[in-house]
A and B are shown apart, each in its own frame.
Chain A
């Protein structure tokens, strides 16, 4: 068993150090980079928290949609190919729901404050 504090707690401390100590003492260029770095640390924290559950759900949906087993990258490419050729589309049962769910799961980690994400959450089935 690993000792504490947890990765999440350590990352939170790094983000706070960047925001509270580095940024106020930096020139504008470095302060900008430090702000980006603090945002990146927050992104990693969200990914540690959410991604396992999200990817399991994504794989299950892909297997249902394509009617076969496979790894996430394999099935993801297969769906992309079917959409590129027009073999499947938004009118295919389950496609629209899968794309929406997968994209929302990414944005929950990548950019939970993005306007397009907030807008999609407010419109349950767009």
Chain B
């Protein structure tokens, strides 16, 4: 791919041409700014200009087409998931447009810009100062119940995974990417021995619902971000992942995202129509999630030595040991 041909000027003129189709009163765009992104995914912010004023928007795109990682669902499906979540009552940005080939921007979509805080460390601090942690944990439960109410049949391309499938998938990834780690081998053994049966009803699982992927304002959750790991499976997986210690940002005593208690999360979940929470299963998923994050960190070593020789990647590889101490704590309980 010729990166110059997809540079900022090209993006600007393609978006300007697209403007009237985003809102009929729109004439052009301004304030284009690339926010972040790696080699395959980009995030851009811009303003859509009409006679009455301008609306801030976000474009997520894969300029070279959609080179999907092994697990990511793809940007088109992500756009559908965000729309389905909105319809189910989840706070999420409105998706205005899914990119088509004739737009000349690759694959991706354009959505409303939502302002708010996503940095986990700031969120736990602000929640603690404002005494808002209990409410936040309760509303995370409500949001997850709404996500889990979405008919999984609408997303036939998503993978369907039982707890036992996931153990095997991650054990394979561990053995492929990492030197042997006694704590991980022990954890895989213990998780296999206590593996829950497949859920009575498989649900749409967000797959990465955690502090850091939530856009928060003073009034609560404004948007649920990063749907690329969505799949069909056990809804308790999302409840467990939210409680993994790595997403508590130092507040180990607040199991739900570093801001709330298990009971608040479960109460919100059941009050909003989620299936009854089996606490033992939710705890199993917390340990599974800890191990999954550990395998992801350990896998960063191979990425660092091949395609991503950045300091940031090196330091993620060195986060593997944090999951080992968390696994030892969970196994001692």
Which residues from chain A sit less than 8 Å from chain B, CB to CB? Answer: 29, 33, 36-37, 39-40, 43, 73, 76-77, 79-81, 83-86, 89-90, 96, 98-100, 102-104, 106-107, 110-111, 113-120, 126
* 3 closest residue pairs by CB, A with B: A80-B180, A115-B252, A106-B321
B188 to A103, Cβ gap below 8 A? no
Residues of B within 8 A of A83 (CB): 182, 185-186, 189
A96 CB, min distance to chain B CBs, angstroms: 8
Q: A79-B182, A80-B180 are in contact. Are A114 and B189 (CB under 8 A)?
A: no
CA of A98 to CA of B183, assembled, Å: 10
Question: Quick one: given A80-B185, A84-B189, A107-B322, are A116 and B329 in contact (CB under 8 Å)?
Answer: yes
Residues of A within 8 A of B186 (CB): 83-84, 89-90, 99
Most chain B CB within 10 A, of A40, A86, A114, is at A114
Q: Which residues in A have their C-beta under 8 angstroms from that of B245?
A: 115-116
Query: What number of B residues sit within 8 Å (CB to CB) of A?
Result: 33
- Indicate if the CB atoms of A110 and B188 lie closer than 8 Å: no
When chains A and B are docked, how far (Å) is the Cα of A115 from the Cα of B249? 8
Q: How far is the CA of A110 from the CA of B206 in the complex (A)?
A: 30
Given contacts A110-B318, A110-B319, A111-B321, 12 further A-B contacts (CB under 8 A): A39-B315, A40-B315, A79-B182, A86-B189, A89-B186, A99-B324, A102-B182, A107-B321, A111-B322, A115-B250, A116-B245, A117-B322
CB of B1 within 8 Å of the partner chain: no
Residue contact B328 to A81, C-beta cutoff 8 Å:
no
Q: Can you offer 17 A-B residue contacts whose CB atoms are under 8 A?
A: A73-B179, A77-B179, A81-B180, A86-B189, A96-B328, A99-B186, A99-B328, A100-B328, A102-B182, A106-B324, A110-B318, A110-B321, A111-B319, A115-B245, A116-B326, A119-B329, A120-B329
Cβ of B251 and Cβ of A103 under 8 Å apart? no
A-B contact count (CB 8 A): 98
Cβ contact within 8 Å between A99 and B182? yes
Instruction: Point out the residues of chain A lying under 8 angstroms from B319, CB to CB.
Output: 110-111
Q: Contact flags (1/0) for B180-207 with A, using CB distance below 8 Å? A: 1111111011000000000000000000
* A85 vs B328: C-alpha distance when bound (angstroms): 18
B166: interface (CB < 8 Å): no
B331 touches A90 (CB 8 A): yes
B77 close to A (CB within 8 Å): no
Interface of B toward A, CB cutoff 8 Å = 36, 179-186, 188-189, 245, 248, 250-252, 310-312, 314-315, 318-322, 324-326, 328-329, 331-332
**Is B325 touching A104 in the complex (CB atoms < 8 A)?**
yes
Chain B residues near A104 (CB-CB < 8 A): 325
Closest A-chain residue to B183, C-beta based?
Answer: A99
Chain A residue numbers with a CB within 8 Å of B252 are: 115-116, 118-119
Q: Give the chain B neighbours of A115 by CB distance below 8 A.
A: 245, 248, 250-252
Q: In the bound complex, how far is the Cα of B181 from the Cα of A106, in angstroms?
A: 12
Complex: A60 Cα to B324 Cα, angstroms? 21
Kindly name the residue among A86, A99, A100 whose own CB sees the greatest number of chain B CB atoms within 10 A.
Answer: A99
| Alpha-carbon separation in the docked complex, A104 to B328 (Å) | 11
Q: Find chain A residues with CB under 8 A from B320 CB.
A: 110
| Chain A residue nearest to B258 in the complex (CB) | A115
Docked complex Cα distance between A76 and B319 (Å): 19
B322 touching A114, Cβ below 8 Å? yes
- B189 and A117: CB pair below 8 A? no
Residues of chain A within 8 A (CB-CB) of B315 are 36, 39-40, 43
Task: Tell me the nearest residue of chain A to B245, going by C-beta.
Answer: A116
Q: How far, in angstroms, from A43 to B314 measured CA to CA in the complex? A: 11
Q: Are A77 and B189 in contact (CB under 8 A)?
A: no
Give the distance in Å from the alpha carbon of A85 to the alpha carbon of B189 in the complex. Answer: 7
What CA separation (Å) do A111 and B247 show in the bound complex? Answer: 15
CB distance from B108 to the nearest CB of A (A): 21
Q: Are B318's CB and A43's CB within 8 A?
A: yes
The residue in chain B whose Cβ has the minimal distance to the Cβ of A98 is B182
Q: Contact between B329 and A126 (Cβ–Cβ < 8 Å)?
A: yes
Distance in angstroms from B80 CB to nearest chain A CB is: 31
> Bound complex: CA of A39 vs CA of B319, how far in Å?
12
Contact of B189 among A76, A89, A116 (CB under 8 A): A89
